[in-house]
A and B are shown apart, each in its own frame.
Chain A
Amino acid sequence: MTGRLVAGVVGLVAVALLVFAGQRALAWRGDRSELSDGRAAAAAATAEVEGLIDISGSTSDADMVRLLDGATAAFRTDLEAQAARLQKALADNKVKATGKAVSTGVVKLADDRATVIVAAAGTVKNKQTKAAEPRNYRLRVDLQRVKGDWLVSGLEFVA
């Protein structure tokens, strides 16, 4: 009888520990996925920003499509509305802009929404300028996760 009691108590303790372990494992996974979500959102913001600042009159339609594909439906509509005018302005003014993100920071991250800031550096040359002029950019990018992908829902320059 004592043996069965001991076995029962030990078994109960084991089950309680397993429940605790399961709960801790979930918390662990939550914190780890927050880190990887932050990295994924930052990478998506970087790609979209570089697509916008590394642009010229000869930027291909494929590049424009890639830019549009990185945006949420609402922001895509905004971009599409301006895409044709932008491409014409770039071509008319012989704009050649290059740029790269130099640092990216996650401002906030909650479930399927993130805000990321991007510091970028580049050059801009157009038909008025003799040489390419250096440009520093400060951008705030809002993102939403749509079907597993982080898409840009808003983008603004920080004054």
Chain B
Amino acid sequence: MSRLTGLTRVAAVLLVLAVVAAVVAGVGAHRAAATADARSDALAAARKRVPELLSYENATLDDDLRRALAQTTGGFTADYGKLLDDVVKPTAAARRISTSASVSAAGVVSGGRERVVVLLFLTQTTVGGQGGSSVSGSRVEVTMKPDGDDWKIAGLKPL
């Protein structure tokens, strides 16, 4: 009987160790996978949202700027909204400007589940009221943060 009790005890100790190992590895793997997912989700969201943020047609200026603002989250929404109202909207309306941004390349700089920084190379085509158009290339770093099930733009820094 004492031999069996000893065997049961060994099995119990082994079980406790196995549970600890399974929990540690399970949680670690889950977090690491979540970090990898966060980075690829944020990158995809940045590729989609940054052109929306930086493009508008003069004919549909109000709708387009509303849509631009819908790409943002957190404190950046108020900052960008102010910039749109104070600078972009009056200038675009007065000079009848339309502009469209496209992503030439994008990659993940850093980040994890709470925040991801993405580097984008943008090509911006701008058309003015006089009909002249200009194309310019730029580099920006955007900070993406989770918003509900999605990732939105929480900051933008031209380089």
Report yes or no: A18 in contact with B18, Cβ–Cβ below 8 A: yes
Verify if B83 is at the interface (C-beta below 8 Å from A). Answer: no
How many angstroms between the C-alpha atoms of A32 and B35 in the bound complex? 9
- A106-133 contacts to B, CB under 8 A, are 106-107, 115-117, 119, 121
Verify if B1 is at the interface (C-beta below 8 Å from A). Answer: yes
Select from chain A the residue with minimum beta-carbon distance to B15: A14
Q: How many residues on chain B are close to A (CB under 8 Å)?
A: 39
Verify if B93 is at the interface (C-beta below 8 Å from A). Answer: no
- B1-45 contacts to A, CB under 8 A, are 1, 4-5, 7-8, 10-12, 14-15, 17-19, 21-22, 24-26, 28-29, 32-33, 35-36
Select from chain B the residue with minimum beta-carbon distance to A32: B32
Report yes or no: A10 in contact with B12, Cβ–Cβ below 8 A: yes
Verify if A62 is at the interface (C-beta below 8 Å from B). Answer: no
* Segment among B52-60, B63-71, B101-109 that sits at the interface with chain A: B101-109
Contacts of B18 in A (CB 8 A): 13-15, 17-18, 21
Contacts of B7 in A (CB 8 A): 3-4, 7
Verify if B50 is at the interface (C-beta below 8 Å from A). Answer: no
Nearest chain A CB to B143's CB is how many angstroms away?
Answer: 12
How many angstroms between the C-alpha atoms of A103 and B29 in the bound complex? 29
Report yes or no: A18 in contact with B33, Cβ–Cβ below 8 A: no
List A residues at the B interface (Cβ < 8 Å): 3-4, 6-8, 10-11, 13-15, 17-18, 20-22, 24-25, 27-28, 31-32, 34-35, 38, 102-107, 115-117, 119, 121, 136, 138, 140, 158-159
List B residues at the A interface (Cβ < 8 Å): 1, 4-5, 7-8, 10-12, 14-15, 17-19, 21-22, 24-26, 28-29, 32-33, 35-36, 104-109, 118-121, 123, 137, 139, 141, 159
